[in-house]
Amino acid sequence: MNLLKNINIEGKRVLIRVDYNVPVSEGKVVNNFRITQAIPTIEYCLSQNCSIVLMSHLGRPKGIANPEYSLKPVQLEMETLLGREVLFSDDCTSHKSIITSNKLNPGEIHLLENLRFHKGETGNNDKFSAQLAQHGDVYINDAFGTAHRAHASNVGVVNHFTTCSSGLLLEKERKYLSAAIESPNHPFVVVLGGSKVSGKIELISHLMSFADTFIIGGAMAYTFLKVQGKNVGASLVDEENITIAENILNEAKLKNIKIILPLDSVVSKEICENDDWRISNFDDMTDMELGVDIGPESAALFHDIIAQSETILWNGPMGVFESPSFSTGTHSVASSISDRTHSGTITIVGGGDSATAVESFNLMSGFSHVSTGGGASLELLSGKYLPAFKALDEHV
């Protein structure tokens, strides 16, 4: 894969695939994390006297032009962030939009309307890819959030360019989520949360070859606790994967890998902000109560293990962090990991809900890397070769 700073883009018209799939409400961007993470690539291209054409998707309009999924609010957000005008075309492959791109002067930026207003995007249609390619002289992929999808704008379009490269964000994502994980400083601790075991099976299996310890919290912990014969009350249990959870525990024992589970839980009869809750160990949980967060003993145990680590990967919250009453455990883990960053430990947040939690706690700067990808980060961390990486790697 070519790296951006190793290719000559001086004065070129650069087509960049970015991931601006961000939440929008009432015509305004409500979370600009993915937008800000792509800015270094844009600024580097501007420093090389380039003109820039940006393309992205937003939501799932299923091949139909739907104003609800327009990137127009993103244009306004970008103008605020960059402090300069951003041109906008309301169709990504119209004759008018291509003319606009061809007439750009160095330093000008042009944002195209939602790629997924065309079925050719998700269908990886070659004709659609060729139309997109008319917007630039050089292609750069900086959209890690879609790297696990073989779409026209990140796979098919590569075939229509002589010069292609990864952007600075895509390069950083690969560095941390692949290289750092597979050649970690030890002890290497993996912190996992979220709901179902099924979504993390391949991840755990792959990381068993590299990690020293797994800390498992969140709803998925109750499946493992049930395997151990613990009383988990009415907590969410991934019944379909009980056997797999048991196999994971047995494999870890054979490989001398530690799996650390919660000692106590915050429990409630409902996942409701106004419902009564209490802290309970597993012997005392009633059949009507379910775990909604890790308890203080668990948080203290997890902190002690994290405090001795040299590489940390975190994927998945410790509880229903969206509710302030049930966010303490996730906040505690985030703070413990952030503390290690300041001590020189490599700390990686694997995107998705974990990244959302980190941002809600104002701890974004407290980690070595916070991934912009949800599904993409999970697949890369599971050892899969992502289609967008393969397309760039094989481009000649």
Kindly give the confidence (pLDDT) of every residue in the chain, 396 residues in length, as a single tens digit, with 9 standing for 90 and above.
889 999 999 999 999 999 999 999 999 999 999 999 999 999 999 999 999 999 999 999 999 999 999 999 999 999 999 999 999 999 999 999 999 999 999 999 999 999 999 999 999 999 999 999 999 999 999 999 999 999 999 999 999 999 999 999 999 999 999 988 899 999 999 999 988 888 899 999 999 999 999 999 999 999 999 999 999 999 999 999 999 999 999 999 999 999 999 999 999 998 876 668 999 999 999 999 999 999 999 999 999 999 999 999 999 999 999 998 899 999 999 999 999 999 999 999 997 889 999 999 999 999 999 999 989 999 999 999 999 999 999 996
Q: What share of the chain is helix, strand, coil (3-state, %, to 5)?
A: 40, 15, 40
Return the pLDDT at 310.
97
Q: Which domains does the chain have, with CATH numbers?
A: 4-171 (3.40.50.1260), 184-381 (3.40.50.1260)
Return the pLDDT at 195.
83
**CB within 8 A of 394, min separation 6: which ones?**
none
At residue 229's C-alpha, the angle toward residues 227 and 235, to 5°, is 75
Catalytic residue, chosen from 136, 145, 352, 373, is 352
Catalytic residue, chosen from 59, 123, 375, 383, is 375
Closest CA to 168 of 176, 156, 157, 159: 176
Q: Is 375 a catalytic residue?
A: yes
Catalytic residue, chosen from 12, 13, 34, 116, is 34
The residue count of the chain comes to 396
Return the pLDDT at 260.
98
Half-sphere exposure of 250 (CA within 13 A, CB side): 7
Catalytic residue, chosen from 63, 72, 123, 196, is 196
Q: Is 196 a catalytic residue?
A: yes
Task: Please state whether beta strands 213-216 and 346-349 pair in parallel, antiparallel, or not at all (unpaired).
Answer: unpaired
Q: Is 120 a catalytic residue?
A: no
Return the pLDDT at 233.
93
Return the pLDDT at 270.
84
Task: Please state whether beta strands 290-294 and 264-268 pair in parallel, antiparallel, or not at all (unpaired).
Answer: antiparallel
Taking the C-alpha atoms of residue 167 and residue 130, their distance in angstroms, rounded to an integer, is 21
Closest CA to 373 of 389, 360, 361, 362: 389
Instruction: Decide if 108 contacts 52 (C-beta within 8 A).
Output: yes
Supply 347's token pair. 């700390």
**pTM for this model (two decimals):** 0.93
Q: Is 17 a catalytic residue?
A: no
